[in-house]
Amino acid sequence: MEKQTVYIGADHAGWALKEGIEEYLQQKNIKVVDMGNQDLVKDDDYPEFGYAVAKRVVTDEGSHGIVICGNAQGICIVANKVRGARAATGFNEEVAQTSRTDDNANILCLPGRHIKIEDAKKIVDAWLLTEFSGADRHIRRLNKVKDIENQEYGDS
């Protein structure tokens, strides 16, 4: 079985949590690619990190992404600007799991200022271990999302 790859990125508000999650995943023998920021930079901005992770996830089939900013919303918005990205906030285990089973999310967005590392580890584990359900209603909804995306990009 091929080793799972997780791309991870965060701004200053999520940097410490990113570092902790990265170390945790590496201990679990999961390949982690750090898309930045490499160092804590107090005036960096989330868009470049959310975008970098999303671009890699959509071009590396089977990979996953984790992005972190202060409240998870801004970095989630920017990640979802990348065609094919399905970024979802996961502020607890159940929400993270349903973002996979129902929405087939490929990027998990975490709020660096609002969760502790131990809670984040549980959320990440739940998210990575959960598969898309493949239920007809969820496939139908995801196809509608693709249709909207195609209209937006002029592919219809």
The yes-or-no answer on residue 69 being catalytic is yes
- Show contacts of 57-63: CB within 8 Å, 24+ apart: 57/7, 57/85, 57/106, 57/107, 58/82, 58/83, 58/84, 58/85, 58/106, 60/5, 60/7, 62/2, 62/4, 62/5, 63/4, 63/5, 63/6, 63/7, 63/106
Catalytic residue from among 35, 67, 69, 126: 69
| Catalytic residue positions, numbered | 69
